[in-house]
Each structure stands twice: as C-alpha cells, then as structure tokens.
Structure 1
Amino acid sequence: MLTSKNADRTDVLSLESGLRALQSSSEFRGPVEELDGHESNDHLALIYENQTEQFAAAVPFTRQGLERDERCLYIVDENSKEDVMTALREGGVDVDAALESGALTIHSKQDTYLRDGSFDPDEMIEFLSETIDAAQEEYEALRITGEMTWILGDDPEMDDLIEYEGKLNRLIPDENCIALCQYNRKRFPAEIIRDIVKSHPHLIYDGMVCQNFYYTPPEEFFGPERPDREVDQMMRTLGDRTEARTTLQARERSLRTLYDAMSDPDLSFDEKMTALLEVGRERFGLDIGFFARVDDETFEVVDVVGSHDEIQPGSVATLEDTYCHRLLGSSDPLGVTDAPSQGWKGDPAYEKYELDAYLGTTVTAGKDTYGTLCFASKDSHSGTFTDDEYTFLEFMGQWLSNELERTQREDRLAALNDLTQELMNAKTAAEVSDYVIDAASDHLDLTVASVALYDPADGSLEPEASTDHAADLVRATSAFDTGQGIGWQAFAENNRKQTLDPLRKTDEVLHPRVTEVVALPLGTHGVLLAGSTGNGGFGQANLEFVETVAGNVNAALDRANREQQLHERENRLEEQNGSLERLRRINTTIRRIDQALVSASGRAEIVDVVCRELTDAGPYELAWFAKHDPVTGELTPNASAGAKNGYLDAVHIDAGGSTEGGPPSVRAARTGTPQIVNKILEDPPFEPWRRAALSRGFHAVISLPLVHEETLFGVLTLYADQAGVFDDLEWTVLDELSDTIAYAINAVESKKALVSNEVTELKFSLSDTDNGIVELVDETGCEFAYEYAVPQANGRVRGFFTTCGISPGVVRDYVSSLPVDGLKLLSDRTEDGKQICLFEAELTSESLVDTVLAHGGRINEFQVTDDDAIVSLHVAADAEIREFVSAFKAECPAAEVTAKRTRERPERTQTEFHATLTDELTARQLETIQTAYFSGYFENPRTRTGSEIAASMDITQPTFNNHLRAAQRKLYRQLFEAKSR
C-alpha cells in the first residue's frame, strides 16, 4: 500500500485508494504493494493500446477521487472533451453536477502544459503546485490525470518530458496529490515508453496494476552514473528474482511432497503421519518432528521422526513439564529459535528436553483440542521463523486436525452402526437403554450419558441407565425433576434443551468436568441426556452426532414398543383360536415385504417381491398382480407366484360392464374397494372363474385394489386352499398392506422422476375456465408463473408463484377461487413498467402442483398468460404415463396433452446435484432452508425476516435459526469437503 510522509494524508491519498477505484473495472487485476525504498508512490503511469483500456483505468480513477471529496483535473488531448464526459457518465459519474460544483475540471494542453505557448518542466511543476494549494482550500486533495499524446507535436522535446516526470516524482510525495499519466503505446516510440516505465514507481497496463521493479529514482535517472546504477539495479533484480524463485520452488516441492503423501489412498494414517513429520523436519531445518496427545494434565507422544532420548512413541510426561504447555496457552503457533536467550532457562521443559529450537502448533479434533504437532532441535535455529514457515506449519496442523476429525467421525459412525444393529435385537425399552449406555461408555465417546424413561403411572421421568459420571450429574443438577429439570423441559416441550456449565449454581465438582449438557426428547418414551467435557462444550458436529444417537434410540424404542405391542397382540390372538397363527405369520411376511419395499427400484420388482413373499409364507396358494389401464379399464396380469396351474390362462378378465358380476379382481378395479369371497363354492352364481378356481383347489379369494391419491395402479389377488381365511382381522391387515404397496409404487416412481437419467416430459394445455388460475389470468390480463414448491413436515406443500401486470390486491380478490391457503406477499417490484409480485401460500389438495407431486411427477414449468396456459412436467421414463395423465385430467378435465417426449439428462443432472447436496438434510432442515430462500431471506435487503418465516412455519425463531444453520453447515460440507476429497 502506498503511504505519504504527511500523516494527515494517510486516509486521503494512497495507492490502496486508487486500487479500489480500478477494481470497479471488470478488466482490472493485479494487487500491488508500495515500492520499498522510494517515496513517490502516488505517481502512476497508464500504458494503453486502445481507448477501451484507457477508459477502463482513467474513469474509475477519476470517480474514486470525486467520491472521496477530491478535486479531479482531467487533461484531454487524444480524446475530445465530449468523449471523456461520455465515458465518465457511462462509468457512473454525475458529470454535470461535478463540473458545476468545480469538483471536476477538464482542460486542454493549451490550458496546462502549453499555457505559455511552449512546454517548460519547471513552469508546469509550479502550475501543479499552485493548483494543489488552491484545491486544498475546498477539497481534501487534488487528483490529476492527463493524456500525454500532446508531447508528440513539433515543439516539446522528449527529454523535457522525462525531466518533467522526474520532477513530478519529487513533487507528489510532499503534496496532497495523486497523478495518473496516460501514454498510448502505439503512438510513442519504444525508447520513450522505456524511459516512461523507468520514471514511474507504478504502472497500469492491460488492466493490471504493476509494482515497477524497473523504476529508477530521478536523482539516479538523470545523474552522471546512470549506466552504472542501471547495471546495479539489473543485477540486484536478477539476484532477487532468482532467490525468490529458488525459495518458491523449495516451498512447492514441500507442498507437493506433502500433498502426494496426504492424498495417497494406499497409505495408512500412521504412514501419512510419518511422511508429514519428515516433510516438516526438512522444511523447517529441525532435527526431530513429533505428534503428541494432550489433555489437562498429560502429554503422550504418539509418533516421532528423528532421535531424542526423552521423546519416543508412547512416552508420557506431565504437561506442565513440556514445551507444549506454553503452546496450548496461546491461540497462535509457538516458535523458539534460541531457548536460553528467550527466557527458557530454569523452565522444567528446557531442563528435561534441552531443546534450543522449537516450532509447534495445536491440533484439534472437531472443536476440542486433541494434541500438538511439533518440530525441534537441540541446537538453536539460525534466524527467525518466517511467516511462510508458520503458515506451512498451520497448514500441516489443519490437515492433521481434519484427518483426526474424519477418523473420529468414521469411528463414531462405525460405533453407531454397531449400536443400531444391537438395538434391532432389543425387545424392551430397558434393553434399549442398556445397549445405548454401554455403547456410550465404550465406543461413542460419550462418557456422560443417561436415558430416562417416562413412567405414565406417576407422570415422572425415571433414569433407566446412566454412565458413572452421568449418574452424579443427574443427582447434582436434578436434571429429570418434574417441571424444572432440563430433561423434563426437553421431554415436555418435545424440543432440544442445552445449558453451558450446568454445575455453576451448585457446589458439586465432577471429574471430568462437564462443560455443557444437552437433553434430547425421545418422542413419548423419555429423554437422552448427554454431557460434554470439552473446553467449549459441544461443537456443532458433536451436537449433531448426539442428535443422531437420540434419533436411533427413539426409533429403537418405537420399534421395541411396536414389537412388544405386537407380541402382546399375538399372544391374545393365539389364545383365541388357532387360525390367528396365520395372522402372526402374515405379519412377519408383511414386515419382510416392508423391508423389501424400501430397497425396491421399480414397480415390477415391488409386485414380484409381494407375490413371492405372500405365497412363500402361506396360507395363500396363488398371488397375482394385474396392471390397470386407466383408459380402457382393462386388467392385464403381469406378475404372479405360487401354484399357478394355468389358472390365469384359463380365466378371461373383462373389465367392462357394470360394477356387479365378474371376478373379484374386476369388481375391485371398478369399485376401488377390496372384494372378498370366503367360500367360492357357496357364492352364486357359479361363474367360469369359479370353476377354474375350484378345479385347482382354491376355496377363498381376496382382491385388493392398489390405490394412492385416487390413482389405481392395479389389483393384487390372493387365493387360499381353505374357506373362511379372509375374516375381518386378516382383511384389515391385507388392506393396510395394499395401501403400503401403492404408496411404495408411487414413491419409487417419484424417485425415478428425480434421479433417473432418462425422463418423459409431458406438456399440457389448460383451457378450463373453471380453473382459478386461468380465470385470474383471463379476467385480469396478467401473467402467472409457478416458481417452486417446498414439501412441509405436516405433509402439505408450500408453493411460490409470481404474477406480472396486476397489483397484490387484485390477486387477493381472487384468492377464494385459487387452490391455496394463507396467501402471503413476499415481494413487489416494477420491471419494464409492469408490477411483478412474488407470493407464498400453502397449496390445497385441489392444486395441480400437489396432484403432480403426489403421483410421482415434478413440475418443470407452469405459466399462464392471456394467450396460453402451459404445464410442463417430468416423470420417470418407465412410469405408467396413462395412469399419470388420467390422474392429472381427473383434477383438470379440460387439460390436453400437447407434447410428449423422452429425453436423457446429462451425466450429472441438476436434480442429482440437488439430491446429493440435500441428502444429509432432515426434512425439517430442507423445508427451512427452501422456505427461507424462496421467501427472500437471503436477499439484500431481506424480503422477510427470520421471525416472519418462523411464524409462517409455526415454529419459534431460535428453532428456525437452528434448522437454518444446520442446513447451511451441511450444504457447505457437501460443497467444500467433497471438493477437497
């Protein structure tokens, strides 16, 4: 940064100010520093080759001066006064106001350089000095820029120009002035440009500000020893550049070696650690490198490179007797080049280790201090440690911290996975609690943890299992006391509660000291209490991990509760009659089906698994699935399992006709309700399908329509070899199963629409005037555009849309005819004379967006104008298009399909990228950040505040902030950590 001798000028004129002005040009680059050893740093030369380059620097230079209350003097020659004024206006300068106030003056060469008829360097310097003095009477300083092509006339001599530039270098440092001389490279001889370069400390060329190491001070440039000084300067420049390049190459080699080792997937952590210590030892010129684990009292060496009797892997010492004790007391790395002269004599660390040179930094794992990374020698270190060496050390420490955090995270996740597997075997809430606490002590690095379960008999929380330290904490803080304890508050409010330094109001002392406690509700089951022993309490990553543990415990308690209820239910059924044994078996089968549905990749796999599992378990002899054509109503068998015996070939399935008569599968498709025939033989009339069934030993049948959101995907039919199988209880279970299957089909096809490489694009034209949106556009002449939809935790959808050409009040007049609840205006602006409004609302089930999402589609475009109403959407390429179209037209009967095409997405689609980024987000976090974004929370200024958005989501602002920060942190980790890997 260029500074002046005059202290009162420091904030007025500096190269930093000019640099900020030039940065306003999109072509600018090249940060520079002040030229060491010289004072004339406010004198710049602009070397340009065309007018664009010229104005790209001169305009922001002048504008910055006007903004800083400086008087700006612009001398024209190559350009006309009008050209300059036009360029300044295009650059954001109010030229007329500046000219009228006198802040800006534009002069010709006759007004300045040739005002006495000829050019005289001394007279021009005198003129500038007087102009500077006059400017300071009203302004902070004077800023001058002049086009130097005037010198190309017949009168001035080039030597006079160079002399003038040198004298200007002497004038500028003692005055409140900054000058920019403009030289057209194409018009000046090369030797003149060469001398111009040498006479200016800073140059601007090709939009880049350059620190001029060719600069020659005036006393040297014009002195008799100029050639010798030029040679000296050239040799110094060569030497400095060579030394700098050598140093840079050494740094690059160290970085490359370190990077190669750290990024090698075949190296273990210990091998990488050894490589890191070797690189650091060589880089810093020290004899040994070591990594140590520390806590409040103990120092333990983990790994060492180099030889030292007291520093060996596994050696342990008291922390106060080590160099690292002083390091941990500082937030910065610690460097010691000569311990005796730097006050280490008598220190226990020096007496024990006798290290004259030491360089170390702190290593963390997450938010907690883990240890130290150090390099040392018994001999003193020549010179001081440089900023580059400190930076390199911090880089190594950061890598090691990241690696430790990653390893810790992997170990925790592995332990969490093991715990999850164990929890699957827990049959009671007490067993779940014991599993969690055992894992917390041994594997999850949660030395302070407790599970309390709710006792409905007396309405209290009772500790079920606790680690040793947690038991003392619960007693000391009354954590689970009804109405006041932190655990009770979390349970009653069903929300996380935290407190720092929980023992500050008690006389208790716990070992280890607990610095923060978090209580997490376990649904209606109880509370998980966890304590941190880190200096700053829980870091965000640790807090999220504890939340994940609590989520798994809650799920395990839910499952154990369901299993216990199911077990009790099965016992009751077994006591009633033997037939209920079949129901237990079918429940087991259904659980297996549920697990299979989670991983199924398509409809065909789902129905195959369902048919196979049902017939494998019995008592069903045959299970088959028929696909339904929504246009013709036809049923087509396309999956089956069990004793087929040609039954499906022998039966004609005609879906036409009335709702009465025909096979149960046809009746189920027509009515949308399950059809049961418990005694085929006794159920008249004796139709052909009955004869075919009886001849194959089938005596009972049930047909279940698979319906989701009023869309019929098909019919599942089961045959049993004995009558009376499908009583009310079994019918209820199978009916619930059919809903689950239909939901799974819809979900898997929705997922395909999001992540499949190939999608089908459908376009619909809407002409239905009964549609509230079409009615709004037709009657008001506005334009309507759907922007985005955000699924909410309550199952509803929050939509965002814009209108163009009407006021918000007009839209509200039509709200009763729109498929929305709670319409809110987010922004209102005018573009090209049209009013554009952004709204937010909850979409009702009658909205097209809700219909499309519910049936596995994703809206790509939804726009309505007075000329047309178009809906463009995507579904999976192998989705049942007729089903989808039928569902869409059921909601909007007048809709017409205008286009259908199947296309491939790019290798990495925007949707896949979105799915990858949002994979770690919870549903609530995703809803929060989407709602914030589309509500204008991140705009400047904000369209809506955090409290307003929280109110719209029916949550508190702290909860909104927590969800938002968690979502942002996860997105940043996906962006930046994924990139680094």
Structure 2
Amino acid sequence: MDRGQTVLVCGDDEQRVAETASGLEAVEHGFDVQAATGETALGSVDDVDCVVSLQFDPPSLVTDLRAERPDLPVIVFAGGGTERVNEALADDTLAYVQPGTETQYVVLAHRIESVAAVDPGTVDGFDRYGEVIGALDDGVYALDDEGQFIFANEALAELTGYSVEELLGEHTIIIKDRETVELAESKLRELLSSSGRDEVGTTFELALRRADGETIACEDHMTVLYGPDGEFRGTAGVIRDISERKRREELLSALQETSRSLMQAPSREDVASIVAGATERVLGLDMAVVRLYDADERVLRPAAVTDAVVDRLGERPVYGLDEGEAGTVFASGETASYSASHELDEGGTTAESGLYVPVGVHGTLSVLSTEPDAFDDIDRQVVALLATNAAAACNRAKREQEVRETRERIATILDRINGLIQNTVEVLVEATTREAVEAGVCAELAATEPYTFAWIGRPAVQGNQLEVREWAGESAVAMDGAAVSVGEDTPGATALADGTTEVFDELGDIDDEWVQRAHEARVASMMAVPLAYTDSTYGVLFVCSDRPDAFDDREQIVLEALGRAVANAINAIESGKILSADKVIELEFTVNDRNLLMSRVSAATGATLASAGTVTQDDGSLRLYLDVEGADSEAVHEELDADSVRSVTQVAEHDGSALFEVTVEDSLLATLVDHGAVPKAVTGENGIARYTIELPYEGDAREVFSLVEDNYDGTDLVGYHEHERPVQTQQEFRASLAERFTDRQETALRTAFLGGFFDWPREVDGDELASAMDISRPTYHQHLRAAQQKVYEELFE
C-alpha cells in the first residue's frame, strides 16, 4: 500500500499535542503523525498533507501556515464559543472539529481524510484504493477540469462498451449527455458557494450512450471538487446501471393499469383476453396462450391466443390435466420455466423458451418464444404477478357472474310464482262453486312451469279412496272417472290423514297404477298437498313435474300456502260464508306530540320510521316491528331505549335501513285496536307521526278521532274516505293464521321475513335472528320450520 497521509499536530501545549498525536495513531487510519509546538510548526509543513491546530490563538499561526502552504488543509481542533468558531472559519480556515467527545479522534481522523484528499487532478488517490475500486460492480471515474477522463475502472469500461484505454484522455461527452452533467455541475457550484464547503456531492439520472450507440438509464453519484483557492479541480463519481430498475418500474406501472382493467372484466373470458393482450403490450412478448379450466369436462380450453402463436404454431389444442406443459402446471400448481428447446405436448410442437404459470384454479398462462433464453428475471416476475392478478380477477368475475345468474333465476322464479298466485287468487275470488275452484286451480298449475300435470282427489264418503274430481295437463296421465285407493304407503295417504305435505322424487319405486302411468308419461317428481281448513279436510292436490327434484323448499312453501287458500275457498263456498263486501271508513291523521314513540324518535334522530307489523302479547304488551331509514342505527337504538319502552332489539341492518323489535306497555296503537280500528299504516318523519286506520261502517269514527285529539297535542285530520272492504281483509287473514301459530312460531317467522332471511343473498343468518329472540339457533330453526308449514311469505306480507 502507498504511504499514508502525513499529519502535523501543533500547538503551544506540549502535553496536549502529544495526547492528540497518540489519539490519531490509535484510530489506525494509517496516518504518519508528526508533532510540533510553537513556532517550530512553521518549519515542519513542507512534507505534510494536513495540519491539526489545537488552538485558535495565536491567530498568526493559521495565517503563517496558509502563507507558507496556500493549498495546505488546516483543521482547528480546539474548544471555543460560537463566535470564535465563526471567526476562525471566516478567517479562511478550511475546517473545524469540536474536541471533548468520546469519539473525538475518530471524527478528527475522518475529517482529515476528507480535507486532505489527493489532488483530483492526479490518479494517485484512485491508485491507493485500486483493489477496492476494481472490485466494485459500479463504474468509478474521475474527470479533470476539462471534462476528460483521468481514471476509469473496468466496471465503467464494461458499462460504456469502451476499454479503459479508450476512455482515458477522452472527453466525457462520448459517454454522457453533456447538458445533464453541466446542469449538475452548475447546481453543485451553487451549493458550494452557499455552503462554504470545498466538496459537494449530488445524485442524478442520465442517459448513458454506449459505444454501440445504445442508450441506457444510469444513476450518477457525482462530486465536484475545488482546491483551497476555490479553483475548480474536476469531478469524480460512481455510475450505476439502473436500466433494469427503470424497466421494472415501468412494467409495474403498466401492470397497475392492466390490473384495473382486470378488476372490471365481467367474465373469465374477458380476463383471458386482457391477460393475453397485456403480455404482448406490456412485456413485449408476442406469443401468449391463456387457457381456462372447464370443470364439467375437466380440460383446459384456449380462451385467448395472440396472433403470433397462431402464425407460428397453429391453432392450440385443448389439454387434459395430464397433457402438455399447461396441464402439468395446472395440476401441480407450480410454475415451469424453460430456456432451451422443449416440446409443448406429445404432438411434437416445440418452443425455444417457455414460461408456464397457473392462474389459480381457473387456468394457465403460457408465454412462448422462438428464441432460446428469451426471458430474464423481470419477465418471470411480471408474468407471475400478471397471473396472480388474473386469478383474483377470475375469482371476482366468477362470483359476480354467479350472483347475476342467481338473481336472474330468482327473478324468473318470482315472476312465475307471482303469476301463479295472481291467477290462482283470481280463480278463487271469481269461483262460485267448488268445482270451479278445483278446475281452475288444476288448470293454472298445469300451465305453469315446471309443472306438467295436476289433479285433485276428494275423500270418498265411504272407504279409503280419493275420488278424482278435476285434472289438467298431460293427457297420457288422464284421470277421468278414476278413484285412487289410499293405502298405508300410497301417495296422498299422509297428506289426507295428517295434513302433511309429501314429496316424491323416485316414482319408479312406487307400486301404484296411476303413479306408474304418470312415470311412463315422463313425470319425474310429484308433490301431494293437503287441502285442509281448520279441522276440515277437503282432499289432496297432486302436482307433477317432468323435472327431478322440482319441489325444493321454496316450491313447497308456495304450494302449501296455495293448498290452504284453496281449502279456505272451498270451506267458504260450502259453508255459504262468502259474504258481500262491507263498507269501511278509512281515517288518516297526524300527531305532533313527543309523547308518541314515532314522533319522539323521528324528531330526535332525523330517521324515517314505519311500522312493519304488531303483535299483542299474552301480558297485554304490544310488540312493534319498526323499519328505520335515514339515520345511524345506534342513535335510533339509544333513542328507542326510553322509559316507556320495555325492551328494544335490533333485528337486522342492511342497505341503509334497520329493523327493530320494540315492546311497549301502552301505546296509541293498542288504544285504537281496542276501539275496533284496524291499523293500515303507521309512520314517523320529522317529528310527525302519521296513522292510517280502518273502522267498521257502524263504528263511530268521530269518537275515535276525538279520543286521539283529546289525549295528544298537534292532532290533525288529513283524510277521511268511505270504500268497499274486500271479502277478507289482510288483517282478517292474518288473524286466522295467528290462531294456528304459537307465540314463538309467529315471532320467528315474522323476524325472519322482515329481517331478510328469505332474501338471496341473505342479509342475516339464523344466529343473528336466534340471538334477537334470546334462544339457541336449533330452537329458532325449530320454531321457524313449524311456522313455515302454516304460511308462505307472499300471503304473510
């Protein structure tokens, strides 16, 4: 190694000079440390690289040293106040180090190395550390004040495409954008003049022009050096190739744009097209195949192929899970990469390079090339990331597609059910005879998919038989004049005896003549619905379908409710209980009184409240179901939980609305019901409660209104109408159903219906509803199932 830097430590205190010299030698920086006291220091500066002065006084020492050696770096290593330090620095002293710290000699040694650097106009400094510089992967250079190379390491030569010999003596313009360098140097000079330091460094990006004309992105850590007299001496720096980093940044940026497109793709096929296009557009790899997995056939089908693949390899085949590289990768879930020639499948088609990446459980992405070793690490990383994003997009697209299909299916089912109910209700309302009811119901069912045949059997006066009265549908299952024996195991026996619905999905196993005839006529499933009203049984309704498993829970609920409605109509006809419509009075009034629950809560929270139903309990209290919109549910819950309320429970919350169950001791609703009123609608908004009620024609509407007006402030009559009441009001229908419910059953069913349990997708689950009733989930479902046997959702609402 060449000689170390020679350092002269001087001052008036001989002991302190010796301590400082020993301290510098102890830090093992390779200094040749000399010591001098008083005026002898002036005669010792000829062969030193740096002077360390241990005092500010006498001021002439620094001045005399600088006069003797103008380029000699001087470091003041002495205590003193701020004024004295500033005075020394203003006196053209090059540097100052504060003594007295634990690391004072280490700091002093580093400062000596920085101010006593070898003249940048020579290569001695680089030669001293040649082994270290030569081992660097980054390019290291030094330029003189004319911008010519005076030093360059092998890494720089490799980076630029020139040899070291070609670089030395050449102007920097041959490898760098000179304007960029000049701007950097100008910036450095400004920093230098404002900082008072001799050496300022900065980092900037530049376009480095190689010997072959190629331009690559680089990062230059450049330092501009000046001599003690302020003269510009040149620049030195480290150049790093950041082209891969820039490329990675650009690819990731482009990939983000692709990811946004992927997350908006409506289907897996659209995802495949976007991925294939991005592989070509973003990565510049023009041969890509995206295959999607067909779960039904258990194969991988090409869903998107770039033009270059078709041009060079032809149409791509469908692969099984054990075929081709794509099948292997999909089955294993592991990426495969080839840098040399390999076969794509047993068909003999080859590629020189290939990347095969699984796209989750949805398929694979194959990126091919006709060139060997065509993919670098960045290509592999970005392709893997693209496949991961594609898998996430496929998951989202699949879920959304399933939701759309489910909604369409439910909409179709609801349209069919609504049409069936509407048409059947018209039949029941218009029919004046039992035969008309039975014939009309069979005709409506047979005309509605997925039903193909329907018939009604009446129990015979004597014997265990069902007499076929009406039928409609497939003529091959004609039931004219037939009578079906009802044995212990025959269809309809349980429905007739116990009033329980029966569903049959395997007709081939039933040893019954008419069932076998129906089976031969392509009837695949069947349901027997009891026609029962209170204690009376009017027969069994048989509904047939050409689809297996056609009678799911939803179908059963609809048909059971339909059976009860038919039985009710038959009972009314046969008992002569079809009554002419009664006249009723509809009364509508508003109340602005904070003693009313609806008025108080809507005024305090800004919510809109609407009664979704009431239940009078055995102890005389009233349970209200309130739909709330337009306010924070927690605030509404807190406002509802007042002295006049016995209990309040939030049953459900979804889409900006919430359902509450509230139990009150006394209420205006209970008072109205006691006076013969039938509540039709109760709402609260902006502190005003609005009530719409119906009263029998004979009732005294004036008396009821006066009762409200006398007890509540701000009562106004806003509507009074007389109109015809239907044969059976909704309230009466609910009352008839309530007679067959237990308290728990009605609560479970109403909570489920109003809380969104029957919606798809469900808004709540059984745990939440069971918790609202303070019972276990199994107990809740037991009550719910029992209630479902007694009513179906459309008629309940």
Alignment TM class, shorter chain as reference? 0.3 to 0.5
Structure holding more strand per residue: 2
